[in-house]
Amino acid sequence: LSPPTSNRIMSAQVESNGASESNNNCVKDVRLLLLPENSTDSDGNPASVAFSAESHKKFIDDLTRTIDVGHVRRKRLWRVPWFILLMSFVQISLHWIASECMQKVLIFKPEWNVEYWRLLTYMLLHSDYWHLSLNICFQCFIGICLEVEQGHWRLAVVYMVGGVAGSLANAWLQPHLHLMGASAGVYAMLGSHVPHLVLNFSQLSHRFARIASLLILLLSDVGFTTYHFCHNHNRNPRTSLEAHIGGGVAGILCGFIVYRRLQPANQKAIYF
């Protein structure tokens, strides 16, 4: 190396050593300020060691707690509505693959009152693609936000109870009418919005938009059903008004039993 280059390197090393010594002196001054020299803890260990260990533990605890809280919030924020997705997948799949024999096993027929599985399995069947498409769209629109906010099993209970109530109401008031379709479960979820809003009205974002959209959906279905009854005399297809009403009432009552108040910490995780 040429003499000027060598001098510059030596000068840089001297400056680096000087900066390092300055930093060390600052750290030493802080330690001496916090912990007097020759001080010890209750076990006879140097106090600087105890102070360092305690600070390290507190830092790790705070970091872990922050990570845990963040994980919980992310989990709430991105909760996947598995129940609604699973039910929709099964209903679509069965509509494609179900044979006439399978439909006879799953459909609800009031005269077969000892085959109790039919109280629920009829909700997996649909008469045609139009019937299937409407119920899938409605149950996704109505149920996804409920499942995200109330959880999987609570919505599943409301859905199943509504289905059973709809089939029982149909068997009581229309004993000659065979039943298929998820309308009773959909109406149960629609009705369960009443207890959900009553319990958590102040915490739900877009609550007025939610109420307006649900009312529009309900009035549209009531209008279509009324037109179908008046114009087509409830033929082709036959609509079980009893199952709809039974499912809706069951959803309201069951929602007040199984739904919970959302914690204020969950507000950021609530969406419509």
- Identified catalytic residue from 88, 183, 192, 240: 183
Task: Given the residues 95, 126, 196, 244, select the one marked as catalytic.
Answer: 244
**Dist. CA 201–CA 24, nearest whole Å:** 58
The H-assigned helical ranges of the chain are 3-34, 47-77, 82-97, 100-106, 118-121, 129-150, 152-173, 183-200, 207-231, 241-258
Query: Active-site residue 244, yes or no?
Result: yes
What is the crossing angle of helices 207-231 and 129-150, to 10°? 160
Among 93, 126, 81, 128, residue whose Cα is nearest residue 107: 126
Phi and psi at residue 164, to the nearest 5°: -65, -45
Q: Is 184 left (phi over 0), alpha (psi -120 to 50) or beta?
A: alpha
The Cα 100–Cα 169 span in angstroms is: 25
Question: Phi and psi for 140 in degrees, rounded to 5?
Answer: -70, -45
Active site residue 196: no
First to last CA, the chain: 71
In sequence order, the β-bridge partners of residue 40 are 46
CA distance 260 to 241: 30
Instruction: Kindly report the number of other CB atoms within 10 A of residue 113's CB atom.
Output: 11
Which burial class, exposed, middle or buried, applies to 66 when counting CB atoms under 10 A from its CB (0-12, 13-18, 19+)? exposed
Nearest to 95 by CA among 123, 118, 137: 123
Residues marked active site are found at: 183, 244
